[in-house]
Structure 1
């Protein structure tokens, strides 16, 4: 949970808070009254290991209405956020198809311990975001 200040490693969450954040405070298999699914919560965070097992353990964050998501995977030194401009109402699996394939590819690289991951990821994310933007807002003829 670092690298927010030009690689000076100033932490956002200290180790004690991180341990509390990823420890479940929810009874096993308790059904969420809103989602109508079994969910686990830490201290204010949704615990997401079951959503993204290839990035586990200790994933915490939260999903939002229509497909947005933000989470951190401390074991992989990785965080991810996705926001959209079109609400998707069919996200029953908990993983929106709009970012699912991107996360699968990212997890594959992280799990292969590729040291050049961060240098290679930024251009790909820029290209991906540009394509999505152009698709959503095509130029006039």
Structure 2
């Protein structure tokens, strides 16, 4: 998904995306339904940030209450992985670069972390045989 497609996806979920200087932080989801993205970060980071923050929204994560931070972050990352990684594109990337998650990530324009999460999920087996 392109940056514009991700913004449209966020808007379809009832969110609004804005860009601001957030210092070292990549982004955040506000209670008012804003996905705030750091304009100083790379396009790659902005894309992943939007997908991740929409994932928090999708799962109804509420940071004002006690919650399982590790679980919530994993759920948001997995949402981003599923949104940004198309199964057919994954297969094509593996055919071109082999089964190294870092090489696949570069080919797909995502992070190694997202590729690894995507590959850990139950789904039809892949060229890399990393799926049970």
Both structures adopt the same fold (TM-score exceeding 0.5): no
User: Per residue, is there more helix in 1 or in 2?
Assistant: 2
**TM-score, reference length from structure 2:** 0.28
| Structure with bigger RCO (C-alpha 8 Å, 6+ apart) | 2
